[in-house]
């Protein structure tokens, strides 16, 4: 594990993730300005020392808006993974633990529903949820989380089926330990690790999904800064003011790649 953490690519990824977390938690430390304040005399100024990412059509500093928009984007992505992970884990845990003819029938029906959920594109499901509950980052997080729940459920059920056939689980059943106790004390702790690794990987995917939906205009509404909406705002100026779209997009790409890299390092630990 340690030799993986000391690789240059991993160290760079770790640094990017730390900066992203600081952007979300203490944005004023990295960008003390007001993300909503504009100066029309500085409208569409190109990147320079005073404005690292340039300014938008209203003269607002793009770097400041990217930093202050990290909270909405990252919080929505982490919330989406939490929703998907909790719901999917519980469904997979219960379906994997059910036994007998009736239990197997219930598990079969639930998992077929999960298969249908997985077959529906995650973005489409998230858009359905947002259209039902209304625009906003938390509706987006719920939609993205429900879209990811199916994958968590399948992984968790597979792990439960593997663990429940081990000797210590059979011994617990022979000794008369209650099924609920066996499930949460013996099966869950030994089946949860692949799900946790998957959750770490899903954070990067969730950031992309949240940013995509925000790009389409269903996330936080203007003038609130959000990474996807920042990319969208620069579309009309792409030919003359490329920095409005390219630089926020580059931040999204760097953070997603860094989180994916670290998640794979954690998941490959032996």
Is the model's pLDDT at 4 over the cut of 70?
Answer: no
Q: In the predicted model, what is the mean pLDDT of residues 97-108?
A: 84
CATH class of 76-252: mainly alpha
- 115-131 residue pLDDT tens: 888 888 888 888 888 88
- 22-64 residue pLDDT tens: 999 999 889 888 888 888 888 888 998 888 999 998 899 999 9
- 64-102 residue pLDDT tens: 999 999 999 999 999 999 999 999 999 998 888 888 788
- Three-state SS for the chain is CHHHHCCHHHHHHHHHHHHHHHHHHCHHHHCCCCCCCCCHHHCCCCCCCCCCCCECCCCCEHHHHHHHHHHHHHHHHHHHHHHHHHHHHHHHHHHHHCCHHHHHHHHHHHHHHHHHHHHCCHHHHHHHHHHHHCCCHHHHHHHHHHHHHHHHHHHHHHHHHHHCCCHHHHHHHHCCCCHHHHHHHHHHHHHCHHHHHHHHHHHHHHHHHHHHHHHCCCCCCCCCCCHHHHHHHCHHHCCCCCHHHHHHHHHHHHHHHHHHHHHHHHHCCC
Q: In the predicted model, what is the mean pLDDT of residues 169-195?
A: 79
Domain boundaries, the chain: 76-252
pLDDT at residue 83 in the model: 92
């Amino acid at each position: 594990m340690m030799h993986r953490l000391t690789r240059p690519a991993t160290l760079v990824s770790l640094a990017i993730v730390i900066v992203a977390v600081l952007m979300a938690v203490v944005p004023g430390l990295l960008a003390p300005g007001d993300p909503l304040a504009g100066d029309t005399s500085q409208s569409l100024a190109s990147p320079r020392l005073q404005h690292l990412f340039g300014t938008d059509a209203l003269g607002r500093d793009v770097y400041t808006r990217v930093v202050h928009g990290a909270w909405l984007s990252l919080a929505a992505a982490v919330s989406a993974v939490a929703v998907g992970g909790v719901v999917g884990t519980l469904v997979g845990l219960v379906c994997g633990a059910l036994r007998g003819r009736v239990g197997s029938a219930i598990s079969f029906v639930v998992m077929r529903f999960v298969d249908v959920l997985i077959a529906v594109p995650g973005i489409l499901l998230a858009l359905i949820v947002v259209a039902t509950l209304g625009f906003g980052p938390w509706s987006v997080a719920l939609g993205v989380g429900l879209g990811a729940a199916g994958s968590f459920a399948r992984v968790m059920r597979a792990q439960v089926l593997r663990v429940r056939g081990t000797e210590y689980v059979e011994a617990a059943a022979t000794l008369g330990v209650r099924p609920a106790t066996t499930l949460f004390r013996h099966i869950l702790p030994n089946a949860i690790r692949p799900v946790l690794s998957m959750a770490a990987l899903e954070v990067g995917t969730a950031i992309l999904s949240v940013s995509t939906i925000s790009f389409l205009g269903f996330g936080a509404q203007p003038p609130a800064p959000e990474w996807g909406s920042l990319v969208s705002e620069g579309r009309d100026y792409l030919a003359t003011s490329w920095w409005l779209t390219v630089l926020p997009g580059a931040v999204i790409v760097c953070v997603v790649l860094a989180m994916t890299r670290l998640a794979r390092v954690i998941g490959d630990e032996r």
